[in-house]
Amino acid sequence: MYLEFGVLMGESSSLWTVAVPAATAACVLVYFLLPDERERAIRRLPAPSSTLPLLGNTLDLMSLELPRLHDWIVEQCKAFGGRTWRLRVIGAPPLVVVSSVECFEDVLKTQFEVFDKGDRMNDIFRDVAGDISFGLQANALEGGQHTDFMEALGRLIHHVEMRFHSPDWLWKLKRALKIGGEKELAEAVEILDKTVFMIINKNMERKFNPDAAANEWSARPPRTTKDVVSLFLDAHDEQRASGEDDGEAPLDANFLRDIAVVVLLAGKDTTAWSMSWLIIMLNRNPKVETKLRQELREKLPKLFSDPNYVPTMDDVENLVYLEAVLRENLRLNPLVPLNAKEANRDTTLVDGTFIKKGTRVYIPSYTLGRMKSVWGRDASKFKPERWLVQDPWTGEQTIRPVSAFQFVSFHAGPRTCLGMRFAMLEMKTVMAFMLSKYHFTTKENPKSYTPIFSVDDSVLPSASQSLTTGGHEYFRPSDDQVWGLPGNSSFKFFRSPCPALNTMANHGHIPRDGKALTPEILGDALMKVYNIDKKVLDIVFQALPPKFTLADLGDPNFIDHDASLVHVDSYFQMDPFKANKTLINELLASADEAKGVITTRTMARFRRRREAESSRDNPEFSMSALASFVANGEAAFVVLGLGDSTTATISVEHARSFMLEERIPVDFQRSKAPVSVSKMLFTIAQLKFLAWLD
């Protein structure tokens, strides 16, 4: 029996080799995909229409880029009429989103003790709480010193923010393997700690051993103000001298570092962000800028005539309209667009939503500032007058009192920003000086700027480069003038199977005749017109010869393939440059009627249908792995390059213009974010998954 058992085990060892990993993978999938009691508790809440079985909203959040993510949350909150709704992301705890003043107050104040930052927030920040400018002068306006420190601080903030947009297991795995953004984060922390501890130690040495530090510090100009370290050391000394320290442990460098990190992070770029957005809003609303200058001339006329004049704090506080403008700017452009809390015990929100312990609650201040139910029918309009109230007897205008849970740019409840008054005073003072002496004009169209919610070297608003016809006259040759296959040079115009390339030729972004092309000419045009990342082009252009024509691309072994979105198969002897109007109209008709857009789901369904039709009708139908990749890449390019890469959608009108007319729509703007390799690969994978799911 022993021998038989041993032989049996030996023969089935390969089975065990497969079975054990498979069982492990199955357990992991069950752990991540099956709902737990927290998810079951919120199952009755509404969810976005894009929510998928098992995956929930994972694909939504992975495909959305900032700031589109926050606009998407706004859309969902409006769709649900301000009611609480739920999100599900693989690897993250259950999520609910609140979008009413009552729920904001409930979470931030009434149940403050119930909703804290949670273990995940502690995990995110635990290994990065080491950066503060203790007497460190960045001299940013002079281009000066400590650039490594400030650059490291920017990288730290950026990579910490990325943890919020990644499943916990993923960033923790990257941290353990020391790869990607987590590797850069660790390097940034090392630079920060080295600089910070050096400054802390010098301050402590100056405090407790002044003679030893005298030589080094004597050469420096005397300081008229104290830095954070000195203030804490002085306060600690006073506390101990008065006997109020209650036996607390003496201060050390780690404690000082952790306390003061709040000061630097709270002040880094925050006012710069707000004032930059204010300049953009004034460019969008010139009448507001005119009224601001009028107030300054009436209340602080010396600002315009005396270069040495410095207004008092009372003078600045009296600038009521300027404060209204600043508040309106912060309402629409908050520095922190989304906050998160986690329930530390079971509770029920004021609207009746039952929340299990461990459920995360999203508090979107960016969304609340755009809710008509909170700010009225003109919520999306920049209107400083909404903040003003006029005394009927004196005619004096003052700031209208608004609940802190309605205007949450400075947070609310026990954790209201301590520097709120200082920040407002600082911005009012700086803007008063600037507007009394300068008129600022944005480099791009002010309406083209979109916020980037990350405090890094691109903290200021980002301008999208708009492109319509680019000044290039549209001309489309007739079919009898065009050829779309290799080997015939008698035709005046060559065109390809790709409407997007033909569109560029029709507008003259590449040679109008479709001849004498090089990878460089075509690549420059694709980057200029559709914002295709160069790395994508490097991959796609590997098979291109040094010189070619658009007709050369009609070779069945290149970009032409069976089951195309816009062409019938080459088996039916059709010139591949000729788009099939019936197919295109059927694609347009399958769009999301409610929104008037073609989505990745629309594309996935149509791709699956086309492959089924070609397989049925074409006896020579072929769909190799490469052809399948090209076909799905074609569909991905439509929504990313011709549409909006942040939402992976294209409007029906734009799709019709590109595909049927091969013409750039008059109101077309190329995608704000470059169409990157990762974005293309993700969208291709998404298309394949959605096609399989349907």
What is the CB neighbour count within 10 angstroms for residue 690?
20
Distance CA 467, CA 469 (A): 6
- DSSP letter, residue 43: T
What lies within 8 Å, CB to CB, of 476 at 6+ separation is 506, 661, 662, 663
Long-range pairs, 480-483, Cβ under 8 A, ≥24? 482/577, 483/551, 483/575, 483/577
Q: Are 551 and 501 in contact (CB under 8 A)?
A: no
Where residue 178 falls (left for φ over 0; alpha for ψ -120 to 50; beta otherwise) is left
Query: Which phi and psi (to 5°) does residue 650 adopt?
Result: -140, 135
Identify the helix (H) or strand (E) that includes residue 125.
Answer: helix 118-126
417 known member of a binding site: yes
Distance CA 562, CA 80 (A): 42
Distance CA 551, CA 497 (A): 8
Residue 33 amino acid letter: L
Strands 339-343 and 347-348: unpaired
Distance CA 691, CA 609 (A): 9
Q: Are 305 and 282 in contact (CB under 8 A)?
A: no
Cis before 67 (ω within 30): yes
Question: Burial, 160: exposed, middle or buried (Cβ in 10 Å; 0-12, 13-18, 19+)?
Answer: buried
Long-range pairs, 49-58, Cβ under 8 A, ≥24? 50/601, 51/88, 52/693, 53/693, 55/90, 56/87, 56/88, 56/89, 56/90, 57/87, 57/88, 57/89, 58/88, 58/89, 58/90
What lies within 8 Å, CB to CB, of 686 at 6+ separation is 59, 63, 600, 604, 648
- Which DSSP string do the residues of 516-566 spell out, in sequence order? SB-HHHHHHHHHHHH-B-HHHHHHHGGG--SSB-GGGGG-TTTT--SS-SS
- DSSP letter, residue 335: S
Q: Which residues pair with 462 in a beta bridge?
A: 450
Identify the helix (H) or strand (E) that includes residue 60.
Answer: helix 58-63
Q: Are 535 and 529 in contact (CB under 8 A)?
A: no
- Which DSSP string do the residues of 665-691 spell out, in sequence order? -TT----SS-B-HHHHHHHHHHHHHHH
CA angle 238, 242, 243 (to 5 degrees): 115
- 567 CA to centre of own chain: 36
Q: Are 95 and 362 in contact (CB under 8 A)?
A: yes
Would you list which residues are annotated within the binding site for heme? 417
Would you list which residues are annotated within the binding site? 417
